[in-house]
């Protein structure tokens, strides 16, 4: 069992030269405590519970799942915004989990984040110029006149007017704010960006603007994205490969076409069938897999396969043995006893 686990891990987080990021056995548990003066740990929210994957240079890896499945926690644990409970995160060969504060700060120049809510992730008391200029100062990249010029250049890159430097976030619409967030992430010329639901707070007609912007920037600056989202159609559009998470684990990981055309895991199949399609003819004929019940609590996840409580294929073994994350065909991993 242990040998098999090591084997699958070595393939799912394989160390080929193209990989910019390698994640192995990443676990993130948040302790639950009780008591007022003496705090005892009484349990843990197992937000991320042992995941393995790699991201290749220049690609976009989509990470999908429902709320509470641990996808945002994964993004933050990779950037060491949370200190992972265990596991390894290697960025360009450097192990991040053991880095000290100053070293990590230097590494963050290479890896940035775009946040979900453009209304909450920009400081309302700072001007746009200060928001975008701050990372330049922190990393000693530019100051004074040079910084102003760089900020204006960045505003242009994300499609905003360079005159905006002295304005405050409240003067902008949601889409424009998200562009400011993108400019801030780009300021330090990173190689890798974690985009955590960057469009889900935006209107339909604005979403496409931001997706196109992210794609243009990727080509222009050879960026690598970890794109976290819950919208499967958007993820299909933007990603080269897609990972599906459920209750703290990656249940399936494959190239985009493969995953959407030949999903192996029942959860992926259910997710795909639940997405409404804007065509009444298609909707009429479609057969939906409707899952029963809710996502169980990550404090006390089901034994065996975590999906077995909602799975229509579940058998005895599913509640007893946690299925391994196996490569079923080249570059297509899934964790299921009855895949296909």
Q: Tell me which residue of 26, 258, 218 sits closest to 114, measured CA to CA.
A: 218
Distance CA(319)–CA(195), nearest Å, equals 34
With CB under 8 A as the contact rule, the residue among 109, 236, 313, 328 that binds another protein is: 236
Can you tell me whether residue 46 is helix, strand or coil? Answer: strand
Q: What are phi and psi of 80, to 5 degrees?
A: 60, 30
| Binding span for another protein by CB under 8 A among 12-20, 76-84, 147-155, 322-330 | 147-155
Which residues make Cβ contacts (< 8 Å) with residue 98, sequence separation at least 6? none
Continuous segment of H or E residues that includes residue 329: strand 326-329
Q: Is the Cβ–Cβ distance between 207 and 29 less than 8 Å? A: no
Q: Is 208 in the site for another protein (CB under 8 A)?
A: yes
With CB under 8 A as the contact rule, the residue among 138, 282, 317, 321 that binds another protein is: 282
- Nearer CB in complex with another protein: 21/271: 271
Q: Is 163 in the site for another protein (CB under 8 A)?
A: yes
Distance CA(132)–CA(109), nearest Å, equals 14
What does the per-residue mask of binding to another protein show for 98-137, with x meaning CB under 8 A?
Answer: ----------------------------------------
Q: Is 290 in the site for another protein (CB under 8 A)?
A: yes
Q: Tell me which residue of 71, 61, 79 sits closest to 12, measured CA to CA.
A: 61
Q: Is 279 in the site for another protein (CB under 8 A)?
A: yes
Q: Is 261 in the site for another protein (CB under 8 A)?
A: no
Q: Is 16 in the site for another protein (CB under 8 A)?
A: no
Q: What are phi and psi of 32, to 5 degrees?
A: -105, 125
Q: Is 280 in the site for another protein (CB under 8 A)?
A: yes
With CB under 8 A as the contact rule, the residue among 230, 326, 328, 338 that binds another protein is: 230
Q: Is 285 in the site for another protein (CB under 8 A)?
A: no
Q: Tell me which residue of 167, 193, 38 sits closest to 110, measured CA to CA.
A: 193
| Binding span for another protein by CB under 8 A among 15-23, 164-172, 299-307, 316-324 | 164-172
Give the C-alpha distances (Å, rounded to integers) separating 238 from 191, 224, 256, 257, 273.
17, 12, 9, 12, 19
With CB under 8 A as the contact rule, the residue among 10, 98, 233, 300 that binds another protein is: 233
What are the tokens at 184?
Answer: 């801030």
- Nearer CB in complex with another protein: 33/297: 297
With CB under 8 A as the contact rule, the residue among 283, 315, 320, 329 that binds another protein is: 283
- Count residues binding another protein (CB under 8 A): 57
Closest contact distance (angstroms) between CB of 219 and another protein is 11
Q: Is 142 in the site for another protein (CB under 8 A)?
A: no
DSSP code per residue over 5-26: HHHHHHHHT---TTEEEEEEEE
Q: Which residues bind another protein (CB under 8 A)?
A: 66-67, 145, 148-149, 152, 156, 160-167, 173, 175, 203-209, 211-212, 215, 230, 232-234, 236-237, 256, 260, 270-284, 288, 290-295
């Amino acid at each position: 069992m242990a040998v098999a686990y090591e084997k699958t891990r070595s393939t799912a987080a394989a160390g080929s030269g193209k990989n910019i990021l390698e994640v192995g056995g990443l676990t993130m548990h948040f302790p639950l405590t009780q008591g007022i003066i003496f705090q005892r740990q009484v349990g843990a929210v197992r937000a991320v519970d042992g995941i393995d994957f790699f991201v290749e240079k220049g690609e976009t890896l989509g990470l999908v799942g429902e709320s509470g499945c641990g996808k945002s926690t994964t993004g933050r644990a990779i950037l060491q915004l949370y200190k992972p409970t265990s596991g390894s995160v290697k960025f360009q060969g450097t192990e991040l989990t053991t880095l000290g504060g100053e070293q990590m700060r230097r590494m963050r120049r290479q890896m940035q984040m775009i946040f979900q809510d453009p209304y909450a992730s920009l400081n309302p008391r700072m001007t746009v110029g200060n928001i975008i200029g701050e990372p330049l100062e922190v990393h000693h990249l530019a100051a004074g006149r040079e910084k102003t010029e760089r900020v204006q250049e960045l505003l242009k890159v994300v499609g905003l007017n360079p005159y905006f430097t002295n304005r405050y976030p409240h003067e902008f619409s949601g889409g424009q704010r998200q562009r400011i967030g993108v400019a801030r992430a780009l300021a330090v010329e990173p190689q890798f960006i974690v985009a955590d639901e960057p469009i889900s707070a935006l209107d339909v007609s604005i979403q496409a603007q931001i997706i196109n912007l992210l794609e243009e920037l990727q080509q222009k600056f050879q960026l690598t994205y970890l794109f976290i989202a819950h919208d499967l159609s958007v993820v299909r559009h933007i990603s080269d490969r897609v990972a599906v998470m459920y209750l703290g684990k990656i249940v399936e990981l494959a190239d985009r076409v493969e995953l959407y055309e030949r999903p192996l895991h029942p959860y992926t199949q259910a997710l795909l069938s639940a997405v409404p399609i804007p065509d009444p003819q298609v909707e009429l004929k479609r057969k939906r897999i409707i899952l029963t019940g809710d996502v169980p609590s990550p404090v006390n996840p089901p034994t065996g396969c975590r999906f077995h409580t909602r799975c229509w294929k579940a058998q005895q073994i599913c509640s007893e043995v946690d299925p391994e994350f196996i490569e079923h065909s080249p570059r297509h991993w899934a964790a299921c006893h009855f895949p296909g």
